[in-house]
């Protein structure tokens, strides 16, 4: 599965949200699995959208045919768009599905990892971080994805910001030390996204 993560700064909120609803046109596109997104809790005016495709071939076909028509509804409503594609490597918890209806918050963590530490980083994600997240009340599902250039994405869905906050306070510092994250990671960026139900496709 291919994961597309788009982040942008919105300059016309009403127009952007109106355009976001037009992405319902994705339904019926070959290989499309789901899309959702919302507003950053940390950075005012920043929107995140996550889209899921069966494969890169289906996604490329959509980009060549239908993308521009659907995207035209949001022209001029945002700036500074950053788009990144990741291949799904493994689930966090079990049975990841690109559904957004049973979660209120998405946590996104984007890491660039030192080349010689990539294997260790992926192993720690599987053996240290995954069990900790999967065992946290309120964590619904998630995934770990990779991209060329030693870039990785961890996407986790939570029932509420309060549940994610408890996990962060109680466990993250200890897990970071155990996983030697500081040694593995060259750069780390993240955000917490309040999901908007009308954006879900």
CATH of the domain at 44: 3.30.70.100
Cα separation of 127 and 180, whole Å? Answer: 12
Contact between 40 and 9 under an 8 Å Cβ cutoff? The reply is: no
pLDDT given at position 168: 79
| CA 85 and chain centroid, separation | 10
Residue 170 has pLDDT above 80, yes or no: no
Residue 119's CB: how many other CB atoms inside 10 A? Answer: 10
C-alpha span between 28 and 42 (Å, rounded): 34
Within 25-167, strands assigned E span 32-40, 46-53, 78-92, 105-113, 139-147, 151-158
| Number of structural domains found in the chain | 1
List, for residues 110-146, the tens digit of each pLDDT value.
Answer: 999 999 999 999 999 999 999 999 888 899 999 999 9
Backbone angles phi, psi at 159, to 5 degrees: -70, -30
Token code pair at residue 139: 């964590």
What confidence tens digit (pLDDT) does each residue in 54-74 have? Answer: 999 999 999 999 999 999 999
Q: What is the pLDDT of residue 137?
A: 87
Predicted confidence at residue 195, as pLDDT, reads 98
Mean local confidence (pLDDT), 14-22? 96
Distances 94 to 27, 109, 133, 170, 184 between C-alpha atoms, Å: 25, 19, 11, 23, 25
Whether pLDDT at 193 is above 90: yes
Q: Would you state the pLDDT for residue 99?
A: 93
Note down the domain range covering 71.
2-199
């Amino acid at each position: 599965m291919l994961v597309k993560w788009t982040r942008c700064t919105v300059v016309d909120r009403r127009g952007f949200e109106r355009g976001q609803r037009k992405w319902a046109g994705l339904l019926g596109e070959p290989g499309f699995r789901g899309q959702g997104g919302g507003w950053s809790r940390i950075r005012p005016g920043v929107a995140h959208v996550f889209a899921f495709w069966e494969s890169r071939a289906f996604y490329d076909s959509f980009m060549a045919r239908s993308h521009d028509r659907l995207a035209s509804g949001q022209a001029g409503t945002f700036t500074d768009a950053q788009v990144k594609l990741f291949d799904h490597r493994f689930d966090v918890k079990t049975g990841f599905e690109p559904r957004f209806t049973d979660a209120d918050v998405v946590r996104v963590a984007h890491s660039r990892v030192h080349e010689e530490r990539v294997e260790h980083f992926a192993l720690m994600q599987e053996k240290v971080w995954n069990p900790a997240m999967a065992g946290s009340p309120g964590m619904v599902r998630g995934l770990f994805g990779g991209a060329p250039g030693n870039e990785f994405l961890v996407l986790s869905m939570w029932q509420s910001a309060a549940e994610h906050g408890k996990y962060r306070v109680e466990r993250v510092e200890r897990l970071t030390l155990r996983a030697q994250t500081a040694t593995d990671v060259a750069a780390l960026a993240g955000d917490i996204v309040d999901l908007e139900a009308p954006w879900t496709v």
